[in-house]
Amino acid sequence: MQTLSFTLLQSQLYWEDKAANLAMFEKKILGIQERTEIVVLPEMFSTGFSMRPKTLAEEMSGETVSWMKRVAATKKIILTGSVIIKEEGHFYNRLLWVLPDGNLGYYDKRHRFAFAGEDQEYTAGHKRLIAQVKGWKINLQVCYDLRFPVWARQESKETPEYDVLLYVANWPERRSHPWRSLLTARAIENQSYVIGVNRVGEDGNGIYHSGDSMVVDALGNTLYHKKDEEDIHTIVLHKEPLMEVRERFPFWKDADNFKIVSNDGE
């Protein structure tokens, strides 16, 4: 059965300093020695979780997207992480999925963190993005989305619609227990691998982040977990044990039918 390798970059971020963050991440990415196919950066990796999009946002033709394309091509990887994007007068917390040939997909964060005012500065996305690589399907989501299980729920009763559920985040240490617990819950209820990549260190608002980046298998077993320290970790996921769990425990066939309706009626 096929394998898929991910490298998780748990890192401190320079507050609202794009040049410093891009230089730092480029050095780390180009220094990865293990064979890897997908490199995952945290949420708003070029700025930190800032509520100043009017100052920091870029268009899709801007510096950070161009940097992601160049690094993905140089390293021959898929590179993913979220950045602040301006498009048609709106600001988005946009997760980019950049292929080594320069093509890309994106997912705009659906659930904005109103507790920090994100809903006042950013426009919500309405469409999920499930990427495909080597026969694997990967559901891409951002931070606060983790608290809303319906948005991540496997929809099909014929066969699960994805194999990996991936979250990039700036999740504070003070709520690290929910982070770890919900990553594990999403893996169990969706019978999927779950990957969560978070930052470490204090941000410009004095909020500390403990990282706690994780990889969890479909039974809820923790395959990787790192707390408080910067870390670059490569993990190879195997399809065979995932398929065995789904065949032995085909719980998704008993799931409730549902339809997602957005708050604004779209």
pLDDT tens digits for 187-204?
Answer: 999 999 999 999 999 999
Residue 265 — pLDDT band, cuts 50, 70, 90? very low
φ/ψ of 11, rounded to 5, equals -145, 155
Predicted confidence (pLDDT) per residue in 65-91, tens digit: 999 999 999 999 999 999 999 999 999
55 contact partners, CB below 8 Å, separation of at least 6:
16
State yes or no: pLDDT of 139 exceeds 90: yes
The 3-state secondary structure of the chain reads CCEEEEEEEECCCCCCCHHHHHHHHHHHHHCCCCCCCEEECCCCCCCCCCCCHHHHCECCCCHHHHHHHHHHHHHCCEEEEEEEEEECCEEEEEEEEECCCCCEEEEECCCCCHHHCHHHHCCCCCCCEEEEECCEEEEEEEHHHHHCHHHHCCCCCCCCCCCEEEEEECCCHHHHHHHHHHHHHHHHHHCCEEEEEECEEECCCCCEEEEEEEEECCCCCEEEEEECCCEEEEEEEEHHHHHHHHHHCCHHHHCCCCCCCCCCCC
Query: Which one is the CATH code of 3-254: 2.60.40.10, 3.60.110.10, 2.60.120.1570, 3.40.1000.10?
Result: 3.60.110.10
| Per-residue pLDDT at 263 | 62
| Burial readout 114-128 (b: 16 or more C-beta within 10 A, e: otherwise) | eebebeebbbbbeeb
What tokens does 95 get?
């997760």
Q: Provide the annotated active-site residues.
A: 43, 109, 143
pLDDT score of 155? 82
Please, which pLDDT band fits residue 168 given cuts at 50, 70 and 90? Answer: very high
- In 3D space, the residue among 221, 224, 223 whose CA is nearest the CA of residue 211 turns out to be 224
Q: Contact, 197 vs 225, CB < 8 A?
A: no
